[in-house]
Structure 1
Amino acid sequence: MTDLKSVNKSPSKLLGALQQILPEAQLDVQSVLPEHTLLLLLIRDVLSQRHLDADTSRRVMDNPLYWILCWASGRVLAAYILEHPELVRGRRVLDFGCGSGVVAIAAAMVGAKEVIACDIDPLALKATAYNAALNACSVTLCDDFEAVRGPVDLILVADVLYDRANLVWLDRFIARADTVLVADSRVRNFDVPPYQKICEQDSCTVPDMDEAREFNRVSLYTASVQSNSAARGE
């Protein structure tokens, strides 16, 4: 795992990496939550896939740029944490598939003991490092979920269930942490005990991708060691 302090926080390397995939793209610091002050370095304008040439489209498909957007589920989960600081305060927290880092940053802002931002994409980790510094937060960066050692109190998950194959991770999360919070807009009402839906909220991606309304309806789910034991009849 890598501490934030050892990572280059200049946005120029992020922009250079982005422009190797999308030559015309630009990055801007943007506010992502209307009720809270949380800033992220994101793409300035969303480029429609329909308007990309074949080579650029191929580069985008081969290099998913999840960190250049603040996705709807990430926004909802980050706001939920900021409005319920008791969920993370003093706890060791892991943000799985951190992307831009919005959820990890929210947890750090309200007093988590340690926040581990985990993503297999090195650019996402660099973006998270930059964005954490932008918000005067400290996070630990990790590129391998299995490399995290020691107890984890809470796992936070947003926007990773776009592929139903990823549902298998839900069991792994509850086996690893006392509590799990999941935000998702892609799988409608997934039924995976011991996860229970706690609320729904409308949101959108920043910058707005003008996605279908169904993807703007975000559900929040929670599971805990206690609820897992109850579901197993223990």
Structure 2
Amino acid sequence: MSGEAALDREAFIRAHTRLLPVPHAPEISLHVAEEATELWQKTEDELAVIGLPPPFWAFAWAGGQALARYLLDHGEIVADRRMLDFASGSGLVAIAAAKAGAAPVEACDIDGFAAAAIGINAAANGVAVTARCEDLIGRDEGWEVICAGDVCYERAMAERVIDWLSGLSARGATVLIGDPGRSYLPRGKLEAVATYEVPVTRALEDAEIKRSSVWRLAG
């Protein structure tokens, strides 16, 4: 990502979002959008880029909120441990981990806007998070804790991610998945460790409150 492109993304994010507390983790504030379709259209129109992915980075999703709450309340899970927030979006879970004492903390996403949002949001919350704009599936860089929120909404993606994460769990990493029970969640491989009633954006979900769980993945 070039410096100029990064600057454009950061300026766009600041112009079209508001810094607000996360409903289920108010210790953290994120730059969020009020309406997904409108933001998506503005992104393509103002930056003259067609075919961008949806702005997942501009919202606090149910699974991510559950993970953030769990890490904030159970800091011993991540304290002084190397942590990766996979498919991070806004950076919410990485920020929660950093606040809970994880170090170093990395957050990855394949969307350049997400990488920019992660940097902006981490700075707004006064924590250090390294944003990585790349697909890390299949790689093992020695992370001790890996979190993945809301990654089970599409079959092929869910299978690919779970296979990779299962390998990391088998070699001793703690793997936590935040999910409100989406279609392709592999419940047979998971143990629920916490469940919350999470406020969400009605425009993105089928309810204003989603019952969302944090699951531990077996190796």
Scaled to the shorter chain, the TM-score interval is 0.7 to 0.9
Alpha carbons of 1:33 and 1:193: their partners in 2 closer, same or farther (altered >3 Å)? Answer: same
Q: State TM-score, norm by structure 2.
A: 0.79
Compared with structure 1, are the counterparts of its residues 47 and 191 closer, same or farther at alpha carbon in structure 2 (3 Å cutoff)?
Answer: closer
Look up the match of 1:212. Answer: 206
Give yes or no for the alignment of 1:122 onto 2:112: yes
Partner of 2:64: 74
Alignment of 1:37-48 (within 5 A): 37-43=27-33, 45-46=34-35
The residue aligned with 1:14 is: 10
Residue in 1 that maps onto 2:193 = 198
Q: CA RMSD, aligned part only?
A: 3.3
Of 151, 156, 180 in structure 2, the residue corresponding to residue 185 of structure 1 is: 180
How far apart are the structure 2 equivalents of 1:103 and 1:148? 20
Q: Distance in 2 between matches of 1:144 and 1:35?
A: 27
Which of 143, 158, 164 is the equivalent residue of 1:152? 143
Letter of the 1:46 partner, please give it.
Answer: E
Change in CA separation of 1:148 and 1:111 when aligned onto 2, cut-off 3 Å: farther
| 8 Å contact from structure 2 (residues 153, 183) kept in 1 | no
Residues 149, 48 of structure 1: CA spacing in aligned structure 2 closer, same or farther, 3 A cutoff?
closer
Q: 1:69 to 1:89 in 2, by over 3 A?
A: same
Query: TM-score, normalized by length of structure 1?
Result: 0.74
List aligned pairs for 1:7-156, cutoff 5 A.
Answer: 13-16=9-12, 26-33=16-23, 36-43=26-33, 45-46=34-35, 62-142=52-132, 143-146=134-137, 150-156=141-147
Larger radius of gyration: 1
Partner of 1:231: none
Which shows bigger deviation, 29-38 or 65-74? 29-38
Q: Secondary structure at the match of 2:203?
A: coil
Contact 1:33 1:79 (8 Å CA) reproduced: no
Counterpart residue number, 2:166: 174
Consecutive unaligned residues in structure 2, runs of 5 or more: none
Cα deviation digits, residues 165-196 of structure 1 (max 9, x gap): 22211121121241110011252584454321
Count of aligned positions: 206
Contact 2:107 2:131 in 1 (8 A): yes
The gaps in structure 1 that reach 5 residues or longer are 20-24, 229-234
Residue 14 of structure 1 aligns to a residue whose secondary structure is helix
The percent of aligned pairs where both chains have the same amino acid is 30
Q: Aligned partners of 2:97, 2:104: CA distance in 1, in Å?
A: 9
- Rounded to whole Å, the distance in 1 between the matches of 2:118 and 2:164 is 24
The 8 Å contact of residues 46 and 208 in structure 1, kept in 2 or not, is answered as no
